[in-house]
Structure 1
Amino acid sequence: MDRQQIDLGAGLLLLIAIVSLAFIALRAANFDALGGASTYSLAVSFENIGNLKAQSPVKSSGIIVGRIAALSLDQENFEAIAHVDIDQRYSFPDDSTFAIVSTNLLGEQYINIVAGGSETALADGDRALGNSALILEDLIGKFIFDKAAE
């Protein structure tokens, strides 16, 4: 074997390793950038989204069932809208509860879905009402002002 063949083999091996690592990283992040599962979209309105970010997970019973595609502001009633993409494998009743929760006091926030009991399921393009995030600073401020008022 000459030097050129060895370099070509090493380069191919390195390329395969990089592609494999990228694939593993995307799967570990539960991010199907390679044309994964089909989804349906929902718009969930909140009074306050706290530190919620695009691409944050949407979970139900601790299982990731979707991702937040985008965040926007409704210009009519000035509420935050989280546009979420839910995996087609998961169907939720139209009276399900959407809430912003944190993994811990300082951790990331995500949307948690608690399924309701309705016979009618949410469909692509539906709008739902969510429970706003608890803002730690607001709770501390309220506690301090309540104690000062006493």
Structure 2
Amino acid sequence: MKKSILEFWVGLFVLLGVVAVGFLAFRVAGSASGTSGQSYTVYADFSDIGGLKANAPIKSAGVLVGRVGSITLDPNSYQAKVSLNIDSKYTFSSDVSAQILTSGLLGEQYIGLQQGGDTDNLAAGDTISVTSSALVLENLIGKFMTSFAEKNAGGDNTESAGQ
């Protein structure tokens, strides 16, 4: 009898734990939008977006100001055309710059906006002209390995040529 009561309480505790985890998951997913619903769309062209995905955050000075709408390939320039849905309560100058950044060393990628100095504001449908592509870790490692191999190969040739 005592064993069945103990099993009941353990089962109830596990059930409450599952419900709590589910509640937290839905709460976090629900608050991920971060925008008020009213937004305007601007565009930015990047030569390499790395691992940027649709619905990625757009931040300015660390504050969430919008979300990435869509990412397409421009058939003329072969660059990634990213639509940025910016919350309408935030305005940026027409010379704002956009760069793809990473949260931490291997975190998610997001777009960072840096305010410019122009007095004219960015309007819906405008394209951000000053962009900086993603820093891809694999490319950096490849460049480092290539320069390291060339340096070592060059060092070996000069030593053997002098002998």
Looking at CA atoms only, which structure, 1 or 2, has the larger radius of gyration? Answer: 2
- How many Å separate the matches in 2 of 1:62 and 1:86? 14
Q: 1:142 to 1:21 in 2, by over 3 A?
A: closer
After superposition, residues 1-150 of structure 1 pair within 5 angstroms as 24-31=27-34, 36-129=36-129, 130-150=131-151
Shift of 1:72: 0.3
Percent identical across equivalent pairs? 40
- How many Å separate the matches in 2 of 1:138 and 1:23? 37
Q: 1:116 to 1:31 in 2, by over 3 A?
A: closer
Shift of 1:104: 1.3
Q: Name the structure 2 match of 1:11.
A: none
- How many Å separate the matches in 2 of 1:40 and 1:31? 14
Please identify which structure carries the higher helix content. 2
- How many Å separate the matches in 1 of 2:41 and 2:50? 21
Q: Which runs of 4+ in 1 moved over 3 A?
A: 20-27
Q: 1:22 to 1:38 in 2, by over 3 A?
A: farther
Residues 43-77 of structure 1: CA deviation (Å, up to 9, x unaligned): 11000000000000000000000000100000001
- How many Å separate the matches in 2 of 1:28 and 1:38? 16
Residues 78-109 of structure 1: CA deviation (Å, up to 9, x unaligned): 00011010011000011111000000121100
TM (normalized to structure 2)?
A: 0.73
Q: 1:140 to 1:117 in 2, by over 3 A?
A: same
Question: Which residue identity lines up with residue 95 of structure 1 in the other structure?
Answer: D
**Unaligned stretches of 5+ in structure 1?**
1-19
Shift of 1:37: 2.7
**Unaligned stretches of 5+ in structure 2?**
1-22, 152-163
Cα RMSD for the two superposed structures: 1.8
- How many Å separate the matches in 1 of 2:25 and 2:88? 25
Shift of 1:28: 2.3
Question: Which residue identity lines up with residue 123 of structure 2 in the other structure?
Answer: A
- How many Å separate the matches in 2 of 1:41 and 1:100? 17
